[in-house]
Chains A and B, each alone.
Chain A
Amino acid sequence: GQNIDQPTEMTATEGAIVQINCTYQTSGFNGLFWYQQHAGEAPTFLSYNVLDGLEEKGRFSSFLSRSKGYSYLLLKELQMKDSASYLCAFDSGGYQKVTFGTGTKLQVIP
C-alpha cells in the first residue's frame, strides 16, 4: 500500500535550524513535494524533488533519498512567520495522483 509518515508536531527557536523528516512507502514513485500551510489558509508549494540529493531554495532546502524512501525539509534562520504546518506528499507517477501526509505542525518560539 501507500503510506507517508512525518512527525505530528515540532518546536524550534527563532534563528535556529530545524529539520522535518518524512518517510514514505509506495509501489510507484515519481517525486516528493513539500508544501507549507499556515493555519486557516491553503497550502503553498515549496519544493519538488525527483532526483536524490539536496536542493536549496533560499532559507529552505529539501532532500530526497529514493532508495530509502526518505526526505527532509530543512529550514534555516527560522522566523516567527515560519510557524505553520509542513506537508510532505509524493506522486505515484503520472496523472497527477498525489498523496499527502498528515503534516508536521511547526511552532517557532522566541
Chain B
Amino acid sequence: EAQVTQNPRYLITVTGKKLTVTCSQNMNHEYMSWYRQDPGLGLRQIYYSMNVEVTDKGDVPEGYKVSRKEKRNFPLILESPSPNQTSLYFCASSLSLGYGYTFGSGTRLTVV
C-alpha cells in the first residue's frame, strides 16, 4: 500500500530532551515536507526537500532540523524542544506538485 509512515503517533517529552520524528514513504517520491498544524494557524511548513541531500527552510524552521540522506526517509529533529513546539506534525510527500501531497497520519507532540 502506498503510504507515508510517521512515528511515533503520540509523544510527550520534557523541555530540552532531543527527539526525532521519523518519516518514511514507499512511493519513490522526490519531494517531501514537514508541517505543523496549530488551532487558528493552520498548516505551516517547517522544512521541505526536493531530493536527496537537498533541503530548504519553510515558514517556521526555527528549532528544527531535517536530513535527507535517502530518498524514502525525511526525519524531523528537535535538538532542544520547548513548550511552544507542542503541536500536531505532518510529514508529506509528492511525485510532483500537480499530484498534491500524500500526508502521513500525524504525530501529536507535547513538550512539558
Contacts and interface: CB of A to CB of B under 8 A. Distances in A.
Contacts of A91: 97
Interface string A68-108: 00000000000000000001010100011111111100000
B100 A96 contact: no
Interface string A19-60: 000000000001101010000011111101010000000000
From B45, B49, B56, B104, name the one whose CB has the most chain A CB atoms within 10 angstroms.
B45
A89 B90 CA distance: 15
A42 B105 contact: yes
A13 to B, nearest CB: 27
Contacts of B22: none
B45 to A, nearest CB: 6
B68 interface: no
Contact of A48 (B31, B58, B98): B98
Interface of B: 31, 33, 35, 40-45, 48-50, 56, 58-59, 90, 94, 97-106
21 contacts: A30-B97, A35-B101, A42-B106, A45-B102, A48-B97, A48-B100, A91-B97, A95-B48, A95-B50, A96-B31, A96-B48, A96-B94, A97-B45, A97-B48, A97-B56, A97-B58, A99-B45, A99-B59, A100-B45, A101-B42, A102-B42
Interface of A: 30-31, 33, 35, 41-46, 48, 50, 87, 89, 91, 95-103
